[in-house]
Each structure stands twice: as C-alpha cells, then as structure tokens.
Amino acid sequence: MKQTLPWSWYSDPALLRLESERIFARTWQYVGHVGQASEPASYFTSTAGEIPIVVTRTRDDELRAFVNVCRHRGHAVAQGVGRRETLQCGYHAWTYGLDGELITAPRSEREQGFDRAELGLVTVAVDRWGPFVFVNPDVDAAPLQESLGEVPALLAEAIDVDSLVHHFRVEWELAANWKVACENFLECYHCPVAHPSFSKVVDVHPDAYRLQTSGLTSSQFGQVRENGGPAYTGREIGGSQFHFVWPNFGLNVFPGEPNLSCGPILPGGPERTARFLDYFFGADVDQAWIDELLELDNQVGMEDSILIEGVQRGMRAGAIGEGRLMSASEPLIAHFQRLTANALA
C-alpha cells in the first residue's frame, strides 16, 4: 500500500500554475479530430491545458497549429470551427494567414520599426494519429508516437481507427481538480460498487480485468460477460479497452460494434475540470445500437461525476494530508502520480 500525492495538490492555485508550466506546456494533448479541418482554408479552436489553440489547414493542405492569442494585446484570433482565408483578432483587427504570418495590423505604418515578420502567431507542434489531432506547445518535443507508445498497436487488435466516422461531441464540467478526474479514469476498483450496469456487461473481477502500464501510457482490458446482453455479446468487439496517455488523454472502446470515444481532461481552475469526448463509430453501425451504448455510457458518466466531486470535497476539507493506494488494484494511479510528481520536481 502506497501513499498518494499530497491532497493539498488538488486545490492549490500555485500548484496548478506549476502544472501549466511544467506539464501542459510540454506534452502532447488531444485537441480534436481531423474532420474539423479537413479542407484547405479551414480551422478549429481548442485548448491544451489552459493554453488556447487554433488548428488550421492551409491552402497547400498543410495542418498547422498556433497559440490562439493575438500578438498585440492577447485577444483570441479565432472562435469555434469554420472556413476562412485568414484569422482576425476581434479587438483591433490584426489579421493573420492560416500559416500564422501577420498580414495586416491597422495603423502599423505609423509605427517606426514595426516588423510584421516578428509578430506572427506563436507556433505549436501538431501531429495526428488516425483521425485524432494532437498538439504540443513545446515545438522541440519528441514525436507524438513516442508518447502514444503501444496504444495504437493495442487498439488495432480490436478496431481500425481509420475506418471510424465521427458522430458527435459531448462537453461537460466537474467541480474537481483535473487529477481527480484522471485518477477516477485509471481504476476499476470502484466498478463493482459504483457501476453496476457496466459490471453486468464487462467482467471486472480482479482476476479477469487486466491492467498494464508502459512509458506514458496506461491500459485497462475487460472481456464481455457471457450474459452481458445481446448488444454486447457475440459482436465484432469482444471486450473493452480503456487507454490513457499522460498527462490527460483518455480513450474508451466498449464491447459490441465498432465504437470509440476519446478526449482530454482539462484544468479549468484549481478545483474545476473541463471535459469533452468525441464519439466515433463504424460506418455501418446501426443507430439503435449506438443509442443503447450511449444509455450505458451516460449512466457510467453520471455515476463517475458524483464520485469525482465527492472525492474533491473530501480532499478540500484539509483534515487528512494524503490517501492510500491499493497496489494490486490501483497501479495505474500510482503510475500517473509518479509521472506527475516527476514532472513537477
């Protein structure tokens, strides 16, 4: 049995500032799917940690990404998703190309020594795996593939990500620190107690539910129960896979028809988390099956939200300095906490 990270780390504003600098400004993070910028002269906005991001596809079909902050006074230069030839700040109309170069700045001709070449948008690294787009504010970071590790190969045993079709995105917030949400994702020790509907479908017995870590990744595997129900048994995917790429990317595959949901776990403040999940399905998956899966998924999500916010209240109370980890059942949390502590050291 091991001690957890100090519980003060889950509500301290100074610690979040350090995480922003040493974790989120230096790691690969999921920002969206390629369909959001599939055509030349298209773009979409997102967030890497607390850093606003805009991803563009230039006229020469190159995917680019930048900090979504005007070099003049800091206003955003893009909102939402769309198609346009330029990005323009809504404050003073500084205008940038989709390659990040500053094109025009009103009244700049009146400024001695004004150099447009030095005032382009700040570039961030961008890469993709299948339809999934990731960015890294550190342009000198190791390639995305190094962070993903063995996850693409493990997932390929169950599903071809390139065959998936994006259906929709779900967004929500939690009254809890981002690390609490990550740690909840990283264990199924709570599943028999807190997720009875999920546990009827997937075998969560500790001898059957497999956990493994490698590099920056953590993975969970659970086979569908023989009596898990017609929606899940005897289908193309015979078990669940839940993958996590440190610091904050989660990916879910349920048993049944080809399906995948994924998204980041984003700090919205010391005790606030913003989440979104993009849902993908095989091209031929029936809507009735999707509806049944979503009923299960939504139930699990509501149960998790209650748990996560309950943990935050207990940590915030300050009566106890740290918790304990069950080594055999929560090794993925230990892995996450070790990576986090090392990054902050």
Name every residue whose Cβ is closer than 8 Å to that of residue 238 and which is 6 or more positions away in sequence.
223, 224, 255
Tell me if 208 sits within 8 A of 216, measured CB to CB.
no
* 223, HSE (Cβ side, Cα atoms, 13 Å): 8
Angstrom distance (rounded) from CA 173 to CA 324: 26
Give the mean model confidence (pLDDT) for residues 191-199.
97
Query: Do the domains at 29-140 and 145-344 have one common CATH topology?
Result: no
Q: Where are the domains of the chain?
A: 29-140, 145-344
Q: What is the pLDDT of residues 300-341, one digit of tens each?
A: 999 999 999 999 999 999 999 999 999 999 999 999 999 999
Cα 157 from chain centroid? 22
Q: What is the pLDDT of residues 210-247, one digit of tens each?
A: 999 999 999 999 999 999 999 999 999 999 999 999 99
Q: What is the pLDDT of residue 1?
A: 72
Angstrom distance (rounded) from CA 128 to CA 132: 5
Render the burial of 149-158: b for 16+ CB within 10 Å, e for the rest.
bebeebbeeb
Q: Where are the alpha helices (DSSP H) in 89-156?
A: 144-148, 151-156
- Confidence class for position 250, pLDDT limits 50, 70, 90: very high
- What class, spelled out in words, does domain 29-140 have in CATH? mainly beta
Residue 142 is given by DSSP the state P
Locate 324 and state its tokens. Answer: 């304990």
Q: What is the pLDDT of residues 37-47, one digit of tens each?
A: 999 999 999 99
Assigned CATH for 145-344? 3.90.380.10
Give the mean model confidence (pLDDT) for residues 144-150.
98
Angstrom distance (rounded) from CA 44 to CA 42: 7
Q: Where are the alpha helices (DSSP H) in 124-195?
A: 144-148, 151-156, 178-185, 191-194
